Structure 1
């Protein structure tokens, strides 16, 4: 083995490590973007569920009030 083979192997190894690190960085960035988008979707859905729950509670109260009024009218 002479020095040129060792140097060539060293340069190839350094290139492989650098390329791997770069791809890992890009993959992490893509996953972070997807995670942020999912968080936004969850926030939107959470607001919709809260709004729905508020409507459901109001309808329940309205039904109870209607029943009370119907009972008063029957008297």
Structure 2
């Protein structure tokens, strides 16, 4: 084995390591973009759920007030 084969193998190994590192970096960047999009989707869904829950609370209060008004109307009709 002479020095040219060793140097060639070393250069090939460095190229393989460098290429692998570059691909890993790109894969990490793609995953980060997907993760950011997923976080935005979760935030949007959380806001929608909060709006829905607020509507449920308001409807419960409205139903109670309607029952109270119906009771008052029935009392006035009986008298």
Q: TM-score range by the shorter chain?
A: over 0.9
Take 2:70 and 2:58, find their aligned partners in 1: how far apart are those partners?
Answer: 18
Unaligned stretches of 5+ residues in structure 2: none
Take 2:31 and 2:72, find their aligned partners in 1: how far apart are those partners?
Answer: 61
2:67 corresponds to 1:48: no
Partner residue of 2:23?
23
Take 1:40 and 1:28, find their aligned partners in 2: how far apart are those partners?
Answer: 18
Aligned residues: 75
Take 2:37 and 2:9, find their aligned partners in 1: how far apart are those partners?
Answer: 42
Deviation at 1:20, TM superposition (A): 0.3
Paired residue secondary structure (1:35):
helix
Partner residue of 1:10?
10
RMSD: 0.5
Give the TM-score normalised by the residue count of structure 1. 0.97
Give the TM-score normalised by the residue count of structure 2. 0.92
